[in-house]
Amino acid sequence: MISSITFLVQMELRLSLRPRVLLADDYPDMVKAVSRLLALDCEIVGTVADGRVLLEAAQRLQPDVIVLDVNLPNVQSLEACREIRRVNPTTKVIMFTAMADPATSQAFLGAGASAFISKLASEDLLSTIKRLCIDQATVY
């Protein structure tokens, strides 16, 4: 009986310590794929497909990490990144894109993004989230 309780407490603790992630991508299949990729290790607190909705959701949900597509409708992702970091400097923003343009990468990093990950190397996304959260001195 005690081992069952201990197991449940450990599982609850593990679930409560997962990084809270907000996904921002206007391609539904990509959102599904990334959600599946991160589901075991992260708490997906929301998904958005629009730049304006992203800004509201980021403030309301207070995620640890935002995975942000470079091209979102209504608000440019570069401006969204800058605004998110201004309002909540502890939120990590990971730019997630199929583009491999160094100038774009530099622009987003200059706007406050913590990382720039290619959608073609999506296996790097989870390790980057974990690294950023550990760098933030929070144990996940």
C-alpha–C-alpha distance, residues 110 and 129, integer Å: 19
> Stretch 102-131: mean pLDDT, rounded?
91
Q: Is 64 exposed, middle or buried (0-12, 13-18, 19+ CB in 10 A)?
A: buried
Residue 48 backbone class (left: φ over 0; alpha: ψ -120 to 50; beta: rest): beta
Tell me the domains of the chain and their CATH numbers.
Answer: 18-135 (3.40.50.2300)
Of 98 and 29, which is predicted with more confidence? 29
> Stretch 95-106: mean pLDDT, rounded?
88
Neighbouring C-alpha atoms within 13 Å toward the C-beta of 24: 33
C-alpha–C-alpha distance, residues 11 and 5, integer Å: 10
Stretch (H or E) spanning 70: none
pLDDT of the residue at 5: 61
Continuous H helices in the chain: 2-16, 28-38, 51-61, 77-87, 102-110, 123-135
Which pTM value belongs to this model?
Answer: 0.84
Give the residue from 36, 22, 27 showing the smallest Cα distance to 92. Answer: 22
C-alpha–C-alpha distance, residues 43 and 23, integer Å: 11
Q: Are 51 and 72 in contact (CB under 8 A)?
A: yes
pLDDT of the residue at 99: 81
Quick: pLDDT tens for 41-78: 999 999 999 999 999 999 999 999 999 999 888 889 99
